[in-house]
A = this chain, B = another copy of it.
Amino acid sequence: MIEITKETVAQLLYLVHDDPDELQQALGELRTPDIAEALRELPPEAAAKVMAALPFELAVQVFDEPELTRHRCAIIQHIDPARVGPLIEAMSADQQADLFREVPPENRPRLLATVSASTRQALQTLLQYAPNTAGGIMTTEFVTIPSDWTVDQALRLISEVGGRKETVYAVYVTDPETNALVHVVSLRELLTVPRDENVLEIGSRRSPLTVKAETDREEVARLISKYNLLAVPVIDDQRRLLGIVTVDDVIDTLVEEQTEDVQRFGGMEALDAPYMEITFVNMIKKRAGWLCALFLSEMLTATAMQRFQVEIERAAVLALFIPLVMSSGGNSGSQATSLIIRALALQELKLRDWWRIALRELPTGLVLGSILGVIGFTRIVLWQSLHIYSYGPHYMLLATAVGLALVGIVAFGSLAGSMLPFLLKRIGFDPASASAPFVATLVDVTGLVIYFSVAFLILRGTLL
């Protein structure tokens, strides 16, 4: 199988865009997400030309692909203004809202003027929700029926309007008086019961699972994942249906959050864009902030070291092991932090479990520290005995100091690393802001103090 890159597909589409037959052939087996992906590789003018050449139905589908986000806004500038209105009008409501979120505020009124009054109103409602909430990712195209309908009536409605809705696999039953959501039935349930039954009679008796418009999208993802739903309804305070969040939006959410979490754990702001698409200046901005903050905190190590300068001058051999013992604390801390961040995100742990974790991480850290301590001790004694390097007459004391310091530093690292996400959550931050470099920096200063204190206790009267 020959693998064709998206760059090649993009160039091909652009080359043939003004010959309908060749374009038809080039489109061949391509699916809309593939076309959207290829358009991202083209400059906006070129992408707009390909878009204009596509059959209208296909153009709408391509423009509806979340893959095209961040590019649609640039492409639309180059599309014939007379065609922009119908194109936006035909998009699904959640993608319309996404598009308008990208448009600079000063251009919004001009673009809003191209769509119908009802679309404009729907858009203004959707745009008031933050993009990381249920309201920000929901769509307003769903199937709703009154609670006095029969299964047969519901199925007839679906076969009429089904093609135009985001999903038909969940049908929302509302009270005809209050419009409140009272029941949800699945299309599967509708198909497997007698057609004259009332829709309220089928499916689960429990009140339907719902979220509010301001519910965090991560929480929506957790609900859909836990309860194996294809969509979850978003309701207001009167239980009226505002929209639904579908499982494919939730998958996009999960993948985005995963990228954010890894980047933040790496010690930077989330990029919010693919690596190759972000400008050099933006890249520096996203990275310099945390790097400077970490650097300024790490300066405390210089301050700590200044206090021990006399000891270092007297026994330079002590300095040799500073990077080794310090980094071990950071490493064990980074392990503990990654464990707790995920356990909190998955709700395996609650804030009030912090002391149970502390009681677990301290002994874990002591054991891990002892393992490293023994290795460190052995290394010094071995190097001395094998005459690889001479640490002076007091090498046994030095080895003991390094070994014991490691026990303390690794234990402290585990404890601090595991408590940091709890602390962040407690003071109202996202626990996932605790990055590996953040923990390492936190542990470094204390690590130095532990190292020199242990060394001072053990080497006093000999080396120091």
Contact = CB atoms under 8 A, between A and B. Distances in A.
Contacts of A163: 188, 192
A441 B339 contact: no
B319 A319 contact: yes
Interface stretch (A43-51, A97-105, A279-287): A279-287
Interface in A319-360: 319-324, 326-328, 330-332, 334-343, 346, 348-349, 353, 356-357, 360
Contact of A323 (B291, B326, B367): B326
Contacts of A250: 251
Given A261-B262, A302-B324, A368-B284, A276 B348 contact: yes
Nearest to A319: B319
Given A225-B248, A323-B448, A346-B274, A339 B33 contact: no
A251 B158 CA distance: 27
Contact of A265 (B160, B221, B262): B262
Contacts of A158: 191-192
A175 to B, nearest CB: 20
A312 B316 contact: yes
A309 B298 contact: no
A419 to B, nearest CB: 14
Contacts of A316: 309, 312-313, 316, 319
B228 A248 contact: yes
Contacts of A271: 339
Interface of A: 29, 31, 33, 67, 155, 158-160, 162-163, 168-169, 187-188, 191-192, 206-207, 209, 221, 224-228, 230, 247-248, 250-252, 254-255, 258-259, 261-263, 265-268, 271, 274-276, 280, 283-284, 287-288, 290-292, 294-296, 298-299, 301-302, 305-306, 309, 312-313, 316-317, 319-324, 326-328, 330-332, 334-343, 346, 348-349, 353, 356-357, 360, 363-364, 367-368, 371-372, 375-376, 379, 389, 410, 435-437, 440-441, 444, 448
Contact of A348 (B268, B274, B287, B357): B274
Given A225-B248, A262-B262, A338-B262, A319 B327 contact: no
Nearest to A301: B323
Contact of A275 (B227, B334, B343): B343
A275 B328 CA distance: 22
Interface of A is mostly: helix
A260 to B, nearest CB: 9
Given A283-B364, A284-B368, A334-B437, 18 more contacts: A31-B209, A33-B226, A160-B192, A168-B188, A221-B251, A247-B251, A263-B338, A265-B338, A271-B339, A275-B339, A276-B353, A280-B364, A284-B367, A292-B375, A299-B324, A312-B312, A323-B326, A436-B436
Given A31-B206, A316-B312, A364-B284, A259 B323 contact: no
Of the candidates A191, A271, A283, A389, the one having the most CB atoms from chain B within 10 angstroms of its own CB is A191
A322 B320 contact: no
**Lowest 8 A-B CB distances belong to which pairs?**
A266-B338, A436-B436, A301-B323, A331-B437, A275-B343, A305-B320, A313-B316, A228-B248
